[in-house]
Amino acid sequence: MDEIRNNPLLLEWLTPHQTPPFSQIKPEHYKPAIAAAIEEGRRNVQQIIDNIEAPTFANTIEALERSSETLGRITGLLFNINECDTSDELQQIVLDVVPDLSRFETEMSMNEQLFARVKHVYEQRDTLTLNAEQQMLLNDTYKGFVRNGIGLPDAEKKRFAEIEERLSLLTQQFNQNVLADNNAYTLHITDESALAGLPDTSRHAAREEAQRRDMEGWLFTLAFPSYGPFMQHSERRDLREQMWRAYNSRGNHGDQNDNNAIINEITSLRYEKAHLLGYDTYCDYILEERMVGSLESLHDFMQRLKDAALPVAQRDLQEVTDYAHAHGLEGTLMPWDFSFYAEQLKQERYAFDSELLRPYFQLEKVRQGIFALYGRLYGLRFEAAPHIAVYNHEATAYEVFDGSRFMGVLYMDMHPRASKRSGAWMTEFRGQWRNGQNDVRPLIQIVCNFTRAVGDKPALLTYGEVETFMHEFGHAMHGMLSDVSYESLSGTNVLRDFVEMPSQLMENWCREPEFLNTFAQHYETGETIPAEYVERLRRAEQYLAGYLCLRQLNLGMTDIAFHTSHGDIKSNAESVEQQAMTELLPHIDGHQTSTSFTHIFSGGYASGYYGYKWAEVLDADVFSRFRKEGIFNSTTASSLREQVLCKGGSIHPATLFQNFMGRNPDIKAFMQRSGFTSENK
C-alpha cells in the first residue's frame, strides 16, 4: 500500500499551477499508478451505472467525461516523456502497460449498462436544453460507443477487443524500432577533405558530436539538423548516398527493428476492425469523422491537386536535372543527388543561400520574435518560469498570460538527443477545461530537433527550422487559447484534417518582411536581416513547389493505399508504396518511407496524412484575409481567436471556418501561392 500512498503520480501536486513534479517521478512509479488509476476509473463508471436517478446529461455524459481524470494525467506524462526523454526502462514500461490500458478502454466502450444510460440521454437530445458544446460532447460520446463496437455480437466484441489491444502494442513497437534505427547509424569522418562543401555550422556541430562521444574527427547522424544540411551541401556523392540509404531504410533491415511485419499486421488488423463495424475499408471508417467526409471526396481532392502539381513537379525535376548535368553530374540524377543540386540551383537562380540566413535566426531571437507576434496579435505575454520543474535540463518552462489572466504553462524542448524521437511536435501534459467556476488551464509542450549551439556561437536556425518553430507554436497556441468546458473538446482535439490549419497558417508570417524585421538580426553585428535577403526568400517561395506538393501527395496516397486494402497485403510494404506513388526519381530497392512512417503507423494520422494538404488549402485561404486586413491586425486576430482557436472541437470545423471567413473554403489562394495557376507561370 505504501507504493500507492506515496506514489507522486497519485498525490495532489502542490506545485505552481499543479505542474508535474518531474524530479519526484521515477519510472517505477508508473505501473502501480496506472493500475490504481484504472481501478479508480472503474469505480467512477460503476457509480454512473448504479445511479438510481434517471440518466441525464450531467449525471451520465459529464460524469463519464471526467471519470478517468487521474488516468489521463498519468498517461499524459508517460507517453509524452517516452517520446522526448525516453530510456530502455521507460520503453519497456510502455509496452507493459498499453495492453492494460487498451483492455480498460475496450471494457468501458463495450459496457452495455453504461451505454444504455448514454443512449437514453442521446435519444432525448432534441428535448434537452443543451448548448452547442454540450451537444457535441453528447454526439461524440454516443458515436464513440458505436464506433468502438458496442453493437457487435459477443464473439465479435471479443475479437474487436483483441484487435485494439494488439494494435496498441504494435504502434508503440513501430515507433521504438524507428528510434532505435535512427540512433544506430552514424557517419564517422576523420579525413577533413571529406567535408568538402559542408558549411561551417555543419562541420562544427559534427565535431562537437564526435567529442561528446569521445571520438576523433566529425560525426554525422540521422537527426535532421545533421542529416539535412549534409544532403544539401556535401560534395561527396558517395557519402550522400550512404547517408540517404541509411535514412531511407530505417525499419527495413530485416533485423529486430524491422517494421515490415508490423506494418502488415497493423494494416490487416485495422481492416478487420473496420470490417467488423460494417465499413468496406479502414479509410471509410476514419473519413466518416473528417471534414472531407468520404473516400470519394478525398480521391477527388487528391486528384485535383495532383493534376495541378504533377506538370509543375516534372518541370522542377527537369530543371534540377539539367542543372546537375551542366555542373558535372554524369548519368542519372539519383535521390541522393536531388537536394544537393536543388540547393545549388536555388543559390544560383535566387542568390538564396540558406546558410546566409542562418546568422539572422538565433534561436533565442526567433523565440522572442514569436512571443512578440503573439503579444501583438492576441495580447499574450510569456514569462520565463525557472521555478517550474522540467523533465530534462534542456527543456524550459514559461508562464503565459493574457493581461493579468493566467493562460497556461508552455514547455519548450528544442534540440536533438538520443532519448528523443526525430521530428517536431506539440502535445500537452494537461488540456484546458472548466470545472464549475474553475478554469483549468493547459500545460502545453513543444518538442523540436533544432540545430544546437556550436562552440562560442549560439544556436542558429535554418529558415526551414524557423518555419517549423512557427508551425509548432501555432499548434501550441491553439491549445493555449482554448476556452471550452470539456477537455476532450479542448485545443487541438479537433477533426484531424483541420488540426493543421492553425499551425500551417502561422508559417505564412515567416515570409513577411514586417515580421522578420522584428527579430531577424545578425547574432554578431545586430544588423537587421537585409531587405535583399528577404526579397530573395520571397522570390524563392514557389521554388520546387510542384515537386514538394507531389511528395506530400505521394505520402498521402501511400497512406490511403495501405488503408484501403482489404487486409490481404501479400507483398511487402515497399511494393505497396511503390504502386501508390508517382515517383519522379529512380526507385532504389530496399529503401522506402513506409517502415519509418510514424505519422500513420504510430502517430494518429492513419488515413489522415492527406490532412496536411487539406489544411494547407484552408490556411492559404485564411491568410488571404490577413493579407487584406493587415498581418498584425489585432481585430482580425481577435476574430480568429474567438471564432476558431478558442472553440477547440466544440463546433464542427466547417462551421468555424465559415464563421471566420463568411463563406466556404476557396482553393484559389493555395493555387496562387503554390504557382499552380496560369497567372503565376
Q: Active-site positions?
A: 472
What does the alpha-carbon distance between residue 217 and residue 200 come to, in Å, rounded to a whole number? 14
Beta carbons within 10 angstroms of residue 47's beta carbon:
12
What does the alpha-carbon distance between residue 373 and residue 637 come to, in Å, rounded to a whole number? 11
Measured CA to CA in angstroms, residue 655 lies from 235, 493, 506, 643, 667 at distances of 51, 16, 21, 9, 17
Query: CB of 412 within 8 A of CB of 398?
Result: yes
Tracing cell 561527396 back to the chain, one arrives at 236
What does the alpha-carbon distance between residue 231 and residue 199 come to, in Å, rounded to a whole number? 12
Measured CA to CA in angstroms, residue 45 lies from 51, 73, 146, 386 at distances of 10, 17, 18, 39
Beta carbons within 10 angstroms of residue 92's beta carbon:
12
What DSSP letter does each residue of 122-150 carry, written as one string? HHTGGGS---HHHHHHHHHHHHHHHHTTT
| Cell (9 digits) for 380 | 499574450
| Cell (9 digits) for 7 | 506514489
Kind plus residue range of the DSSP H or E element containing 433: strand 433-435
Query: CB of 594 within 8 A of CB of 556?
Result: no
Which residues pair with residue 426 across a beta bridge? Answer: 446
For 441-450, b/e burial (b = at least 16 CB within 10 A) is: bbbbbbbbbb
| Cell (9 digits) for 415 | 534540440
- The number of angstroms, rounded, from the C-alpha of 25 to the middle of its chain's C-alpha atoms is 26
**Residues 6+ positions from 129 with CB-CB distance below 8 Å:** none
Q: Where does 524-610 have alpha helices with state H?
A: 531-539, 545-563, 573-580, 598-601
Type of residue at 578: Q
For the four alpha carbons of 192, 198, 203 and 209, in that order, the dihedral sign comes to negative
Tracing cell 494494416 back to the chain, one arrives at 267
Q: Where does 154-223 have alpha helices with state H?
A: 154-184, 200-212
Q: Virtual CA dihedral for 273, 278, 280, 283, nearest 10 degrees?
A: -60
